[in-house]
Amino acid sequence: MQSFDSALFFCLYISSIMNVITLESTESTNRDAMELASQGAMHGTAVIAKEQSQGRGRLGKRWQSPQDKGLYCSIIVRPDVRAEDYPFLTFVAGLAVAEALEKEFSLKAGLKWPNDIFFGMRKCGGILTESSNLHEIAATNRFAVVGIGLNVNTALDDFDEEIAATATSLLIESGKEIDLKMVFDLIRNELLIQIELFENEGFLQVIRRWRKRDCLLGKRLSWVSVTGCKVFGVSLGPDDEGRLHVKDDNGIVHEILSGDIQLARN
């Protein structure tokens, strides 16, 4: 009995190690994970890289990924939810990262819609969720890749000029160098826990907790509307479907589905 238990434990240990692929350098861990997932890689499998040459950000932007300064990882998930609920994963992931960081470092982590990780009004990380063709493939083959970029050991003068005024890192916030693998383990565990909660209890409990971390609420901001105009307004926060509500200067409330929200300077 004793030896069976330890053999089982050993197998679980090895399989949990094998589900994490660590690369010295890659173009984009999201690209790698999308490929692995389409070949059938299981829920929880992850790719981490020490640096990325073409880190992808949201809305076609680049994610700066200097060697050993940040966490660059992509986690394959296969949640047991309807295809139309997959877009909610982006909120689940933001919440998981914020909660994992807050538990470990006792730093109050905020969220900027839809899923940027903020400390104060500075961005520390971002999430890019990509998914399989959700409606055309069998439910058992569906997957999403949650790509997480987090500034961990980045000093202020490591940031490029264009983001230095608005970015931060765990090093800057906590004053300590932090082990990247430890941060990854925390985040992956928390993400898998939060996905299970989402499967069992639905999106409402996710968005309720998300709202408590909303760092845009009541703030004046701008965005580019579907008609291409820049609109200014005040954030009312996301509704129960995750759409951001913003009241513009004429009192009209807009529901924003996606896009780049900027804090207004005036």
The residues of the shown chain that bind ligand BTN, judged by CB under 6 A, are: 28-30, 52, 55-58, 61, 63, 72-74, 116, 126-128, 147-149
| Residue number, 192 or 248, with CB nearest to ligand BTN | 192
For ligand BTN, give the closer residue by CB, 29 or 131. 29
Q: Buried b / exposed e across 73-110, counting CB within 10 Å, b at 16+?
A: bbbbbbbebeeeebbbbbbbbbbbbbbbbeebbeeebb
Distance in Å, CB of 115 to ligand BTN, minimum: 8
* Nearest residue (CB) to ligand BTN, 74 versus 154: 74
Is residue 128 a contact partner of residue 152, using CB atoms and an 8 Å limit? no
Instruction: State how far Cα 165 lies from the chain centre.
Output: 22
Q: How far is the CB of 105 from ligand BTN (least distance, A)?
A: 20
Q: Between 61 and 181, whose beta carbon lies closer to ligand BTN?
A: 61
Which residues, in sequence order, are CB contacts of 167 under 8 Å at separation 6+? 122, 123, 124, 151, 154, 159
Angle (deg, nearest 10), helices 89-105 and 180-201 = 130
What is the chain's length?
266
